Amino acid sequence: MAPTDPTAGGLAGGPPAEAFCDTVDLNHLFAQAPVGLAVCDGALRVLRVNARLERLCETQADEVLGKSIGEFFPTRDAACLTELLRTVLETGRPVESTVRLVTS
């Protein structure tokens, strides 16, 4: 087994320590955030959601992974939300908006 290198994030030749720290920070953010969070790919398919978003959307992560936000997010404005996300991808700039959830 290769010796460990603390600057390489574990095993020699492994990912840099920064990548490990970024993952730990993201895991902590997802676990502690008081708001619903989702990570999407370039096609706006869901890669990850946190527990708060699962509760807000009354769903489980395994039911939404690979789907678009508009397929499961409880809002009448799914098309608007999708356009906002596309704008962020195209411009690289954040947008600010309020999206109302459809609740029963």
User: What is the pLDDT at residue 20?
Assistant: 53
CB 29 within 8 A of CB 38: no
pLDDT confidence tier of residue 6, bands split at 50, 70 and 90: very low
User: What is the pLDDT at residue 102?
Assistant: 65
CB atoms within 10 A of CB 64: 21
Q: Which two tokens stand for residue 45?
A: 């398919």
Q: Say if residue 49 is exposed, middle or buried (CB neighbours under 10 Å; 0-12, 13-18, 19+).
A: buried
- 37-83 pLDDT tens trace: 888 898 999 999 999 989 988 889 999 999 988 787 777 777 888 88
